[in-house]
Amino acid sequence: MISLTAPASLSMLDLTFASTPLALPFLATLAIVVPAVLAASLRSRARETLLLAVFAATLAAVLFARSVFAFMLAWELMALVSAMLVGAHFERRYVRRALLSYAIVSQIGALCILAALALLGAHAGAFTFDAIARAAPSVPAPLRVTIALLALVGFGSKAGLVPMHFWLPSAHPAAPATASALLSGVMLAVAVYGLALVGLTLAQPLPAWFGIALALVGGLGGAIGALYASLQSDIKRILAYSSIENTGIAIGALGLAFAAQAFGLTSIAALAMLALFFHVIAHGAFKSLLFLGAGSIVRAAGTSDLEHLGGLMRTLRFSAPFVLVGCAAAAALPVTCGFAAEWLIVRGFVHALTSGTPALAVAAAVTIAALALASGLAFATFAKFFGIGMLGQRRSDHVAQPERFDHVTVALAWLSAIVVLIGIAPELVMQQLGAAVQAVTGVQADLGTLPHVARIAALAPVLGLLATAWVARSRSIAHQPTWTCGSPVTRRSQYTATAFSQPIARIFAVAMPSAREPAIAFARSVAAFAQRTARRTRVVQGGRLRVYLAYAVLGALVVFWLAR
């Protein structure tokens, strides 16, 4: 524990850092992702690599912070450095727009977090997290709800929880691939950590209805994120929306943990926390893998638009298999950690179904349906991502250069190895996660039959290869053009990304009143209103010295009156 204690009158400026069990899984994610990201960024300019390293350090600082001042300092540094990464290509107009909306949302969120932590500190009379946690049970109910809502807005907006996600699909793709990998793979998880910190220690116990509402918002938000992901044609936007989906899933599990704690069902809370921890690590690994892979695709093909991609199996001969692993994980398929994470999360909700608490059971049923829909849509999304983006024939005239084996390949291989390893043997991370779960909820949670199921499912590719070997020993192997009813086989005879997702777009058109996302449209109208208001209030800044002096006198009078 590192501690810099301020004088008693300024105790709110205490700087305390220490490691906690709750932060451990998030630190593990950071430890998995950062080496890969730094290795992959060796190609880019030194300034960018340095920024990435600093960013990783600020993420770690948030996870280690144990006092209000330390947390806010680290949080704001993290926001600042991440904004610098988002704005790396400042010369492009869409980057500037993305940066602006990110900065605004980020600062509003930080103010909410500051308010929540300050209220907690004021109640406890001390500003270290340990003191706040000790005073947590005595927080009056209305204050507790206020704090919970403030934390939800503050951390939820940073995590990209629907409907506070509108900034994310433009901000994350604007950054370089290495930065997106950290932003999506780790920073979103750090925001979820913040919410868990408030709900499980600083302001615990939160009311049961809050947990239930959070589970529902998370689950449905996950499904909405997955729906929008399936409709995108730009690979980086697909990944950004997929991150929104996974944030929803993680927050759904967190909501379940809150609700279970409130009902006294600690064993279910333990299952939910185990699922959340595993999901965070799994998502961190496969999402950074996919973002780094997307970086390779863009570098080789010169575009991130699926309508111009395709036929990259030969040019990206090293990266393509790793991207396939990432896509399988994002679609929660067996043999990858995505499967294990999905399995654990659904198990938590299945236990909630049988908990005997009607409200929790009904919420669990709805959330399971939402999670299943999300995973079905993720299937369609990543079938499109790989099938249209990598397979078939190139859809534009741009000739891609074959890639070389370099440090990016090593980074992709490292992340793929993690994805597959903890997908086949999830118990490898179990010991550490189990200790964290025990410390957070006071109960042990085990993996259940997951290791067995994961191993059995891993037989599928093995059997598949045996069967393929049998096919390879066919009597004869001939080559013929693809059957297109006699018309010539050109790249135009292939299906397009838009056509692929058209049925989904049409089926869910009921849920989408306009082509533009409702949350984005709403955010635009709020921004326009703010701009109008700012223009009108500009008259108070007349630019004349006398006016400002009058303000100063007025201000001084108000202060004297307040302090009389």
What part of residues 482-521 is at the interface with another protein (CB under 8 A)? 482-485, 489, 491, 493-496, 499-504, 506-507
- Candidates 77-85, 259-267, 347-355, 436-444; binding stretch for another protein (CB under 8 A): 347-355
b/e per residue 191-230 (b: at least 16 CB within 10 A): bbbbbbbbbbbbbbbbebebbbbbbbbbbbbbbbbbbbbb
Shortest spacing between CB 19 and another protein, in angstroms? 33
How far from chain centre, in Å, is Cα 219?
A: 14
Shortest spacing between CB 392 and another protein, in angstroms? 4
**Nearer of residues 474 and 537 to another protein, judged by Cβ:** 474
**Nearer of residues 468 and 541 to another protein, judged by Cβ:** 468
Task: Give CA–CA dist 283/326, Å, rounded.
Answer: 10
359 interacts with another protein by CB under 8 A: no
417 interacts with another protein by CB under 8 A: no
List binders of another protein among 422-451 (CB under 8 A): 449
Shortest spacing between CB 513 and another protein, in angstroms? 18
**Nearer of residues 356 and 442 to another protein, judged by Cβ:** 356
**Total interface residues for another protein by CB under 8 A:** 84
> Which one of 111, 428, 456, 511 is in contact with another protein (CB under 8 A)?
456
392 interacts with another protein by CB under 8 A: yes
467 interacts with another protein by CB under 8 A: yes
> Which one of 343, 408, 413, 426 is in contact with another protein (CB under 8 A)?
343
Do 449 and 340 touch, CB atoms closer than 8 A? no
> Which one of 46, 141, 477, 515 is in contact with another protein (CB under 8 A)?
477
**Nearer of residues 139 and 390 to another protein, judged by Cβ:** 390
Q: Report how far apart the first and last C-alpha atoms of the chain are (Å, whole number).
A: 43
Task: Tell me the sheet residues that pair with 67.
Answer: 128
**Nearer of residues 147 and 340 to another protein, judged by Cβ:** 340
Task: Give CA–CA dist 333/324, Å, rounded.
Answer: 11
Other beta carbons within 10 angstroms of residue 396's beta carbon come to 16
User: And the tokens for 142?
Assistant: 């209305």
375 interacts with another protein by CB under 8 A: yes
List binders of another protein among 286-325 (CB under 8 A): 313-314, 324
400 interacts with another protein by CB under 8 A: no
Task: Give CA–CA dist 503/517, Å, rounded.
Answer: 18
Q: Cα-Cα-Cα-Cα dihedral of 501, 507, 511, 514, to 10°? A: 60
> Which one of 120, 347, 409, 447 is in contact with another protein (CB under 8 A)?
347
C-alpha angle with apex 211: 208 to 213, nearest 5 degrees?
105
List binders of another protein among 203-262 (CB under 8 A): 230
**Nearer of residues 98 and 430 to another protein, judged by Cβ:** 430
**Nearer of residues 47 and 452 to another protein, judged by Cβ:** 452
Distances in whole angstroms, Cα of residue 114 to Cα of each of 61, 109, 198, 421: 17, 9, 12, 39
> Which one of 464, 528, 530, 547 is in contact with another protein (CB under 8 A)?
464
> Which one of 194, 284, 293, 334 is in contact with another protein (CB under 8 A)?
334
Query: What's at 504, amino acid-wise?
Result: I
User: And the tokens for 306?
Assistant: 């699926």
Task: Give CA–CA dist 231/487, Å, rounded.
Answer: 29
Rg of the chain over CA atoms, in angstroms? 25
User: And the tokens for 459?
Assistant: 């037989």
User: And the tokens for 347?
Assistant: 């198990």
